[in-house]
Amino acid sequence: MPRPSCNARCGNDSGWGTEVEGNWDVPRVTVEGVRPLRRRVLRPGLPAHAACFDGDDNRTAIHLAAFDRERSMVGVLSLLPAAPLGTRPVFQLRGMAVDAATRRRGVGRALLNAINDHLPADALVWCNARVEAASIYRRDGWVEDSGVFDIPGVGEHIRLRRPDSPRGTPD
């Protein structure tokens, strides 16, 4: 059975989220579409190639962007394929970035909700989240899978996984 779209889950069939969720449309986009916002938020002041991640160009990679009513891109994330766990597909969520002007307005939640619209139902998903951003994943039910660790040049992170993903999801 197909899953309802993010907009349908928000209880609004107009194509936009509710006021509580925000007014976000979250379609699949190209990798070139996510890189400018990813760079501005996650790699400020660094060269353009700093916003290019291993796996971005994989044919099974999924890139999502949240747009406001004016069609401005306000958030992005990428789901990059990882080694499968048995027969189950595994994806690493990378590069989730929300424009500073729209933070704490439901953009991140809309992006996380939209993951289910684009992945196989049995997919496992994990991420290395910046410590200061980990609360959005926890509020969405994600589970910590590591202690704090440093990614040189980027900062302190913690590994999280969706609750239906087993501990120690491969990287």
**Model confidence at 29, in pLDDT bands (50, 70, 90)?**
very high
Question: Which residues make Cβ contacts (< 8 Å) with residue 37, sequence separation at least 6?
Answer: 65, 73, 74, 75, 76, 97, 99
Query: Of 80, 95, 109, which Cα lies nearest the Cα of 6?
Result: 109
Residue spans per domain, the chain:
6-161
Q: Which CATH class is domain 6-161?
A: alpha beta
- Residue 12, classed as helix, strand or coil, is coil
**Model confidence at 56, in pLDDT bands (50, 70, 90)?**
very high
- Which 3-state string (H, E, C) describes 17-68? CCCCCCCCECCEECHHHHHHHHHHHHCCCCCHHHHCCCCCCCCCCEEEEEEC
Hey, what are 167's tokens? 């501990």
- The region of weakest confidence among 73-77, 90-94, 152-156 is 152-156
| Per-residue pLDDT at 150 | 87
pLDDT digits (tens, 9 = 90+) for 127-145: 998 888 888 889 888 998 8
| Per-residue pLDDT at 133 | 84
Measured between alpha carbons, how far is 73 from 107 in angstroms, rounded to an integer?
A: 10
- Residue 142, classed as helix, strand or coil, is coil
| Per-residue pLDDT at 91 | 94
Look up residue 145 and give its DSSP letter: -
Look up residue 71 and give its DSSP letter: -
Residues 145/150/155/157 CA torsion (nearest 10 deg): 0
- Residue 131, classed as helix, strand or coil, is helix
